[in-house]
Amino acid sequence: MMTVECLAPGHIRIDGRDVALGLLWQKRTGGATIRQQALGAAGRDVHYDLYAMGMDRAQIGLARAGDNHRARMLVGALHIETADLGDNWLAAFPLVDNGGPVWVIAMREGHVYEDSYHDAPESAQRTFQQLAGAPDWEMCIAPGSWEQDDAREMSLAAVFRGRPAIRLQPVNRVAVFAPWMIGAAGVGVACAVVWTGLPHVLDRLQSTPLPIETAQALPPPPWLDTPQLPGFAAHCVRLVGSVYHPRLGWEMTPIICSWQGQTVRVAAQWNRKGGSYARLRAFIEDEIAVPVHLACSGTCATLTSETGLRAAELHQSDVSWPAAMTESILHERFRDLGVEIRMTRLQDSR
């Protein structure tokens, strides 16, 4: 019977073999070196120093020592026996009995779609349910206690396969082989020459993390003090209804509803088709007490009507996601679409 031990977040041991969970998977960027892609995926506080290639080398999984990963660990997402699962499957595997960490893993058309480690079952279940809404799953696996429709219960040990072994490798190989090169430096004069220049070579090749910026004031979130959709829509419906007055001899154009600051405003226009401006103005001003103006050199009439928004109808400042989480989620989801995304700091993009 295969045994599974949970040693640390993102690090389990199956029958004595260390396995890495929770990698960041991306579409392999054509023309970029592995180091360049790792740097491109890095965030302000996240620097990837390990990687593994997907089965067809169309994907790359990135990992880092800060997530309890290290070189030579098996890559969990690539060691699932898929023969009985199909091409599109979603699974949640508890890593310990009676609650605790859960691994959520999904594949679509042979590519890793989800690979996330969750300390709490509640977090894993939310992720699983969000993914379960996607179409065309051939197999869903979840704990029986979740009572998930159309999902079957299965243990990780039942589908894990140890070979062929696909392991994490260092993004910067020089850092791994440098001790051997240094040891060889004492063999002869030629090696001594190599050793003399080696530190400079290492300085150039060593992965350099992106600079960490000093704390600075961030601009307010763009949604702050903008109308929430339900309130905005309700005001628009009411205002449009109040100004919608077709009249004989006039043709109404589409009514426009917009907002500015804390005001919702509608604009209506009638094009003259032989009608009387005086009668149109008298009728509308009597109905809604909003002035009508003659425009278009006398060929049309216009009016605007507006109302204010209450503070409760405006978006308030929410707690934003940490930068590393935001970047990780955006990279992960955009690569599912085969779209590359490159984020820059605000001051660099102005």
- What are the pLDDT tens digits along the chain (350 aa)? 678 889 999 999 998 899 999 999 998 887 888 888 888 887 666 788 999 998 778 899 999 988 899 999 999 999 998 888 988 999 999 998 888 899 999 999 889 999 999 999 999 999 999 898 888 899 999 999 998 888 999 999 889 987 888 999 999 864 444 444 444 444 444 434 444 555 555 555 454 454 444 445 556 666 666 777 778 888 888 899 889 988 888 999 999 999 887 899 999 999 998 888 888 888 888 888 889 998 888 899 999 999 988 877 776 655 556 667 677 767 666 666 555 666 666 554 44
Co-location of 141 and 52 in the same domain: yes
8 falls within a domain: yes
Q: Where are the beta strands (DSSP E) in 35-133?
A: 50-53, 59-63, 74-75, 89-94, 102-108, 111-118
Burial class (CB in 10 A: 0-12, 13-18, 19+), 1: exposed
Nearest-10 Cα torsion for 330, 333, 339, 340: 40
Distance CA 348, CA 77 (A): 36
- In DSSP terms, 193 is beta-bridged to none
Give the CA distances from residue 91 to residues 100, 296, 337, in Å, rounded to whole numbers and listed in that order: 16, 64, 21
Q: Give yes or no: residues 261 and 181 share one domain.
A: no
**pLDDT, position 181:** 45
pTM of the model: 0.52
Both 141 and 179 in a single domain? Answer: no
Are 233 and 149 contained in the same domain?
Answer: no
Residue 223 is assigned to a structural domain of this protein? no
Amino acid identity for residue 190 in this structure: A
Residue 163 sits in the same domain as residue 60 = yes
Question: Is the CA virtual torsion 249, 253, 255, 256 positive or negative?
Answer: negative
Question: 43 with 152, same domain?
Answer: yes
Residue 318 resides in a domain? no
pLDDT of residue 314: 76
Q: Where are the alpha helices (DSSP H) in the chain?
A: 34-41, 121-132, 156-159, 173-184, 189-205, 229-243, 277-288, 323-336
> Do 290 and 243 touch, CB atoms closer than 8 A?
yes
Flag whether 216 is in a domain. no
Q: Give the span between the Cα atoms of 106 and 137, in whole angstroms.
A: 10
Give CA–CA dist 137/133, Å, rounded.
9
Domain span including residue 158: 4-170
Does residue 35 lie in a domain region? yes
On whether both 116 and 257 belong to a single domain, the answer is no
Looking at the fold, whether 27 and 148 belong to one and the same domain comes out as yes
In a domain, 17, yes or no: yes
Output the CA–CA distances (angstroms, integers) from residue 69 to 7, 81, 161, 169, 315, in the order listed.
11, 22, 20, 10, 40
Max alpha carbon distance in the chain (Å)? 106
**Residue 255 placed within a domain:** yes
Distance CA 264, CA 280 (A): 24
Residues composing the chain: 350
Listed residues 170, 189, 219: the one ending a domain: 170
Do 129 and 259 fall into the same domain? no
Residue 155 and residue 28 in one domain: yes
Number of compact structural domains in the chain:
3
Of 170, 193, 221, the residue at which a domain comes to its end is 170
14-19-24-29 Cα dihedral, nearest 10 degrees:
-120
Q: Look at the alpha carbons of 47, 49, 54, 56 in this order and tell me if their dihedral is positive or negative.
A: positive
Asked if 207 and 38 count as a contact pair (C-beta separation under 8 A), the reply is yes
* Judgement on whether residues 16 and 164 belong to the same structural domain of the protein: yes
Residue 6 Rama label (left phi>0; alpha psi -120 to 50; beta): beta
Residue 59 covered by a domain: yes
